[in-house]
């Protein structure tokens, strides 16, 4: 591989130029091996943040990150595979009911997931609140579970999958270069393409609790990812979905597991069911099962049976009581009217401060911490009526959570116009 000088690569991007394939291959490889250091990669990430990337650069950057590690292959399990990835939101527990629901139709669902950082929760943190459940599986265990009657796996992505992204994502997190479309698109798609799924549905969140605050930037991110998938031969579709208010009625690890189990039992909040069903339909359509009756599989217990088996195969006890927090605190409505705003970011930060999330990767999370939501935007409320119940093990966290909620709850005379959860769909541009 041709060697470059990292300073020249940084200068090219700083001055608004286009990086060549050779420069990209070299810098990603050198960074993964440690011969380009964090300070130079941080400068390059900031240059990309400020100057952007062409579509060709994004494709080549993604490809170099895929080639930094291993590629998985699910060909041996003999059934179609479908995966979903969310760009992250507050109360977003959809993976939990979705994976077993889709697998109940004979489609294998390999959900290699992450832990939460900052105000958005992590799927693995949620599942780890189930006594005994194990996130770390070997590649052999993943293949065996996918090929078994269960067919669904939710586990940690192994260290060998896109290691360049693991390093770069941690660096972006501490250099304020996360919310950048070329870097998010290449980060997510390098992992998903390396994972080897046959088809992929992206849930691109839009609103205060998401990376993308408005529909236009969410659409641009979705388009970049869908095109990367198409270029790599992975059929990819994106749904743009609302993240202006938390999804469902719970935020926090064990609280969200309990709500997911309600959905698998045929109940649960309407917005969680709506999004689970919309994503399941898309995944099944792409996996060649367009007629699958997903609502029926939630009602008749088929999805629940797969969930229980999936939890058991990963060492968990689906019947064990979930952990609860030591303390609760109720937030009440300050007046009569209609709840106009329950801001996703405010609730996400409050839940994180209650102990449900972590500030740095090594922090532990409290399984029982989080927030129960008693009223959603559009609901009529009366002064003194409970709006939220805060859960935590530590008294000192409550005032900090209340501070985060200040300004995030608005009660007014008139309701805001209601919008559904799914806002738009982006498919590959074949032109
Ligand atoms: N999730 C990822 O995996 N990468 C990003 O850059 C943002 C969200």
Look up 85 and say whether it is catalytic. yes
Whether residue 351 is predicted with pLDDT greater than 90 in this model: the reply is yes
- E strand spans, 157-280: 199-206, 235-242, 250-251
Q: Clarify whether residues 139 and 236 are in a common domain.
A: yes
Q: Can you tell me which atom of ligand 1 is nearest the CA of 88?
A: 8
Q: Clarify whether residues 135 and 236 are in a common domain.
A: yes
Count structural domains, the chain.
3
Q: What is the pLDDT of residue 116?
A: 74
Q: Clarify whether residues 270 and 218 are in a common domain.
A: yes
Q: Clarify whether residues 152 and 297 are in a common domain.
A: yes
Pocket flag, ligand 1, residue 49 (CB < 6 Å): no
3-state class (DSSP) for residue 425: strand
Q: pLDDT band for 431, please (50, 70, 90 cuts).
A: low
Pocket flag, ligand 1, residue 188 (CB < 6 Å): yes
Domain assignment of residue 232, yes or no: yes
CATH of the domain at 378: 3.90.1170.30
Whether residue 279 is predicted with pLDDT greater than 90 in this model: the reply is yes
Contacts for 168-172: CB closer than 8 Å, 24+ residues apart:
168/31, 168/41, 168/45, 168/65, 170/361, 171/38, 171/41, 171/42, 171/45, 172/45
CATH of the domain at 99: 3.40.1030.10
Distance from the CA of 87 to the center of ligand 1, in angstroms? 7
For ligand 1, atom 7, name the residue with the nearest CA. 184
Q: Clarify whether residues 88 and 29 are in a common domain.
A: no
Q: Clarify whether residues 310 and 346 are in a common domain.
A: no
Look up 191 and say whether it is catalytic. yes
Q: Clarify whether residues 142 and 230 are in a common domain.
A: yes
Q: What is the pLDDT of residue 430?
A: 63
| Final residue before a domain boundary, out of 286, 319, 352 | 319
Q: For 115-148, what is each residue's pLDDT tens digit?
A: 876 777 789 999 999 999 999 999 999 999 999 9
Q: Clarify whether residues 127 and 267 are in a common domain.
A: yes
Domain assignment of residue 1, yes or no: no
Pocket flag, ligand 1, residue 26 (CB < 6 Å): no
Show the domain range for 173: 82-319
Domain assignment of residue 182, yes or no: yes
Domain assignment of residue 68, yes or no: no
Distance from the CA of 241 to the center of ligand 1, in angstroms? 17
Pocket flag, ligand 1, residue 113 (CB < 6 Å): no
| Residues β-bridged to residue 237 | 201
Average pLDDT value over all residues in the chain: 95
Pocket flag, ligand 1, residue 161 (CB < 6 Å): no
Q: Clarify whether residues 228 and 365 are in a common domain.
A: no
Pocket flag, ligand 1, residue 62 (CB < 6 Å): no
Look up 119 and say whether it is catalytic. no
Domain assignment of residue 59, yes or no: no
Domain assignment of residue 77, yes or no: no
Q: Clarify whether residues 201 and 86 are in a common domain.
A: yes
Q: Can you tell me which atom of ligand 1 is nearest the CA of 178?
A: 6
Distance from the CA of 361 to the center of ligand 1, in angstroms? 15
Q: What is the pTM of this model?
A: 0.95
Distance from the CA of 187 to the center of ligand 1, in angstroms? 6
Rounded to the nearest angstrom, the gap between the alpha carbon of residue 142 and the centroid of all alpha carbons in its chain is 20
Q: How far apart are CA 18 and CA 15, in angstroms?
A: 9
CATH of the domain at 22: 1.20.970.10
Domain assignment of residue 360, yes or no: yes
Domain assignment of residue 117, yes or no: yes
Q: Clarify whether residues 138 and 174 are in a common domain.
A: yes
Q: Clarify whether residues 179 and 291 are in a common domain.
A: yes
């Amino acid at each position: 591989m041709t060697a470059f000088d990292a300073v020249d690569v940084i200068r090219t991007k700083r001055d608004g130029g286009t990086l060549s394939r050779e420069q990209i291959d070299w810098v990603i490889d050198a960074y993964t091996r440690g011969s380009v250091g964090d300070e130079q990669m941080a400068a390059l990430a900031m240059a990309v943040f400020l100057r952007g990337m062409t579509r060709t650069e994004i494709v080549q950057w993604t490809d170099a990150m895929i080639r930094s590690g291993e590629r998985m292959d699910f060909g041996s399990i003999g059934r179609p595979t479908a995966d979903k990835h969310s760009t992250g939101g507050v109360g977003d527990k959809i993976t939990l009911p979705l994976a077993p629901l889709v697998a109940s139709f004979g489609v294998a669902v390999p959900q290699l997931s992450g832990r939460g950082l900052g105000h958005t929760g992590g799927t693995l943190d949620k599942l780890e609140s189930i006594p005994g459940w194990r996130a770390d599986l070997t590649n052999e265990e993943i293949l065996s579970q996918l090929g078994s009657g269960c067919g669904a796996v939710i586990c940690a992505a192994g260290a060998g999958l896109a290691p360049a992204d693991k390093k770069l994502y941690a660096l972006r997190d501490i250099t304020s270069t996360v919310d950048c479309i070329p870097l998010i698109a290449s980060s997510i798609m390098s992992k998903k393409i390396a994972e080897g799924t046959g088809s992929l549905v992206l849930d691109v969140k839009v609103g205060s609790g998401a990376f993308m605050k408005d529909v236009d930037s969410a659409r641009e991110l979705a388009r970049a990812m869908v095109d990367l998938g198409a270029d790599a031969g992975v059929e990819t579709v994106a749904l743009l979905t609302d993240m202006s208010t938390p999804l469902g009625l719970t935020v926090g690890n064990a609280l969200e597991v309990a709500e997911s189990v309600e959905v698998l039992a045929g109940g649960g909040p309407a917005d969680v069911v709506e999004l689970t069903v919309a994503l399941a339909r898309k995944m099944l359509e792409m996996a060649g099962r367009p007629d699958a009756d997903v609502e029926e599989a939630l009602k008749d217990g088929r999805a629940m049976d797969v969930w229980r088996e999936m939890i058991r195969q990963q060492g968990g006890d689906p019947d064990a009581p979930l952990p609860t927090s030591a303390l609760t605190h109720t937030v009440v409505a300050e007046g009569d009217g209609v709840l106009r705003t329950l801001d996703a970011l405010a609730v996400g930060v409050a839940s994180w401060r209650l102990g449900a999330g972590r500030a740095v990767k090594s922090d532990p999370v409290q399984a029982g911490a989080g927030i129960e939501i008693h009223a959603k935007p559009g609901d009529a409320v009366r002064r003194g009526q409970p709006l939220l119940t805060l859960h935590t093990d530590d008294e000192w966290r409550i005032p900090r959570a209340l501070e985060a909620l200040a300004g995030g709850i608005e009660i007014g005379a008139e309701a805001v116009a209601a919008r559904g959860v799914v806002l738009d769909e982006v498919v590959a541009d074949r032109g």
